Each structure stands twice: as C-alpha cells, then as structure tokens.
Amino acid sequence: MLTVRVRTPSGEVEVHNTHVPPGSSNGWVKIDQLVGLFDGLARESAIPRILCGDFNAPQEELPTGEVVTWAKRRGSAGWRVARMVRGGPGAAWDAGERRIMTDLATWALPDVFRQLHGYAVQEASWLLRRGDTVRGRRFDHVFASPTLVPQRCVYLHELRERGLSDHSPVEVDFGWPTCAG
C-alpha cells in the first residue's frame, strides 16, 4: 500500500493505492490485507480521500446490487457463504471483502463506478481465459470521498488489449470545485 497526501489548487487529498493479492494463491494474506485497509480507513476525515488499486474482488456483482464475494458458492437456492474458505471461516472471508466493497461507503468512501453507473452496468477490468471461455471480473476499483464530486469513471480497455497490462486501468474525472483563497 502506498499512501500520499497530494496538495492541489483546491486543497489536499489523501490518496491510497494498493494491490491486494489473490486469495487463490495467497490464502488469508488477502483477507488480512483487506481487514487492515478497512481498519485504517474506517474513520472520519476532514481531508477528501481516494482509495484505488487492484483488489482481486469481488467474484461477481449482480444487477440487483448484491456483491458476491469469493466466500460465496452458488447453489440451487442461490448464493450462500461457504462454511470454510482456504482453511478459515467463510463468514470472515465474506466480511473481509464486503467491508471494502460496500461498507467503506459508510465512511465516505463509496465505489465511484457503482455510484455513477449503478449495478445495471456490468464491467470487467480483468479477464480469465480458459479454453474458449472468457470471464470478466471487475477487480480494479476507485473509492472516493463524495466531496470530490466524481463526474466520470471508465475502464481503459485499450491498454489491456495492447498488452501493456493484464488489467484495464480505471480513469476517474472529478469535479472538485476550486477553493477560494
């Protein structure tokens, strides 16, 4: 995680950037990092904040607004939290991902893409290719203080398609007003 305080003509902004390792190859290191991120950011702040990066989560986002974490398994009755995930309680894994994906909004750090587009719009910043099957995941996110007034949030797929990264970077335009004085 990298944290900086940026001085802009409109005032200071606290920017946090992270890469959360995938749970498939790192197990509970992923959840430990997500819990640490939440614990460090779940506070009031007089300074606008941005949290961005590759979170390797969630597994899926449904048009209903349900966020499906990697602790969930699909069954005949829909999604359910697994009893155990990678040697630990599924409920703890689910909470670790969910606290970042949805609960940071309580602390004035909502998901900018969802804030602007809702859940009807599906997007992917990373693609899993298995044979002829391609499955997109939205792993890269920007969470930002509403006072920054997000105007636009898009994924730049051309950079991934040109082979410059295996992820599509996310670009956000803010309409933060200029401060007087």
* Domain boundaries of the chain, sorted by first residue: 2-55+100-174
User: How far apart are the C-alpha atoms of 69 and 60, rounded to whole Å?
Assistant: 7
- CATH architecture under which domain 2-55+100-174 falls: 4-Layer Sandwich (3.60)
**Looking at residue 122, what is its pLDDT?**
95
From residue 103, alpha-carbon distances to 45, 98, 165, 166, 180 in Å are 16, 7, 29, 28, 33
Per-residue pLDDT tens over the stretch 17-44: 999 999 999 999 999 999 999 999 999 9
User: How far apart are the C-alpha atoms of 81 and 92, rounded to whole Å?
Assistant: 10
Q: What is the pTM of this model?
A: 0.94
pLDDT at 179 over 60: no
